Every structure is written in C-alpha cells, then in structure tokens.
Chain A
C-alpha cells in the first residue's frame, strides 16, 4: 500500500464548477500538508501549505486537513480552463523535510 493515495482521474468539470480533489495517507507522522499544481512538461508549483487539521483559504483555493481520518482535500471554486493541470498532494513529516508525493489527479476544466 502506498503511503499517499490519489485518484488519478481525469476529473472533468465545466468552467465555473467547483473542483473537489482528495488525498488519503497512512502515516500518522505527517504533520505538514502541501498541494502542488503541475502543468504538462513543467515543474510542480506550490499552491497551498497547511499545518494541522482544519481549513485554509487562499483566493479560489481551499485546503482541508482531517488528521483523524488521514484525509486531505483541495477545493477550487469558479474553476477556469487555466486550472486544467495535475494536482499533487504531498505531506511532510515534522522531522526532516522529505516530501512524500501522491500520484496526482489530472483535472480538465472545459470552457
């Protein structure tokens, strides 16, 4: 079993819809949680960074962390075609700074 799991998709939504992305993990040592966006043939770009359970909002993006169920979510409101990309969740242990990546979910926002 992988430490971090994501549905590979593709997740296809119409422009303006809410995109809902999920990620589960198995290691309770993970304390920091990151979401990266990756366009084709580009490096991952840091979108959201959270610590501990709860919600964090930044513009159209909301990250949710539920440590009790080891479940991480990313919501994108008012989705745009430019949001079409692969979204990677990457939790991090408190000790050390080795990220563990999920396989990513590919999102397609159709105009």
Chain B
C-alpha cells in the first residue's frame, strides 16, 4: 500500500531538548512538506523540499530544521529554539509540476513535559 508514514504518533519533549519527527513516503513523490497545525488554525508551512539534498524555508521555519538525504525521507527536527512547539505536525508529499495536490500522513502530536 502506497502512502506516507509519520512516526511516532505522540511525542513528548522536555525543556531544552531537540526532538526529531520521522516522515517516510513510498509514493515515489519528488516533493515533500512539513506543516504545523494549531487548534482552530489552518495548516502553516514549516519547510519543503522539491528534490533530494535541497529544501526551502516555509512561513514559520524558525526553531526547526530538516534534511533530505533520500527521496523517501524528510525528517523534521524541533529544536530547543522553538519556544512554542506544542502542536500537531503533518508531513505531505506531491509529484512535481504545476498544481499538484499534496497527500498527507496521519501526523505526530508533540507536547511539552
């Protein structure tokens, strides 16, 4: 079954700690994205990558970092510099080209201990 797998489903972070969220896709998509969703708000773009070894900042990149070493994988690190990390994090992917729809994983909920 093709799809996007995010892990873990729930994650807890202590103050001052970095944590990494995993996103893997087997859809053979070139482009991958990370979004943050807060209650009552729409999704906001953190980072995106259109090709391996290349990525761009989205609208709210501060306090986050990413890597794209493999086409299938796009991990997101929430650093201690992110002062309000509690949120639902969603990974998406799409094919290249104009107007391509994005397909989402089932998210990781990050909370602060």
Interface residues of A (CB under 8 A from B): 4, 8, 31-32, 34, 36, 41-46, 49, 51, 88, 90, 92, 94-95, 97-104
Q: Which B-chain residue is minimally distant from A32 (CB atoms)?
A: B99
Q: Is the CB of A43 within 8 A of B107?
A: yes
Q: Is the CB of A97 within 8 A of B99?
A: yes
Interface size class for chain B?
A: 20 to 34
Q: Is the CB of A103 within 8 A of B41?
A: yes
Give chain A residues whose Cβ lies under 8 Å from the Cβ of B4.
Answer: 43
What's the A-B contact tally at a CB cutoff of 8 Å?
59
Q: Is the CB of A43 within 8 A of B41?
A: no
Interface residues of B in 91-113 (CB under 8 A from A): 92, 94, 98-107, 109
Q: Is the CB of A98 within 8 A of B42?
A: no
Most A CB within 10 A of own CB, among B40, B101, B107: B101
Q: Is the CB of A43 within 8 A of B90?
A: yes
Contact among B58, B90, B101, B105 with A98 in the assembled complex (CB-CB below 8 Å): B58
Query: How distant is B4 from chain A, measured CB to nearest CB, in Å?
Result: 8
In the bound complex, CA of A104 to CA of B42 (Å): 6
In the bound complex, CA of A38 to CA of B62 (Å): 26
Contact among A34, A94, A95, A101 with B101 in the assembled complex (CB-CB below 8 Å): A34
Give chain A residues whose Cβ lies under 8 Å from the Cβ of B101.
Answer: 32, 34, 46, 49
Q: Is the CB of B45 within 8 A of A102?
A: no
Q: Which A-chain residue is minimally distant from B59 (CB atoms)?
A: A98
Q: Which A-chain residue is minimally distant from B103 (CB atoms)?
A: A46
Give chain B residues whose Cβ lies under 8 Å from the Cβ of A46.
Answer: 101-103
Q: Is the CB of A99 within 8 A of B102?
A: yes
Closest 5 pairs (CB-CB, A-B): A101-B42, A43-B104, A32-B99, A101-B43, A43-B106
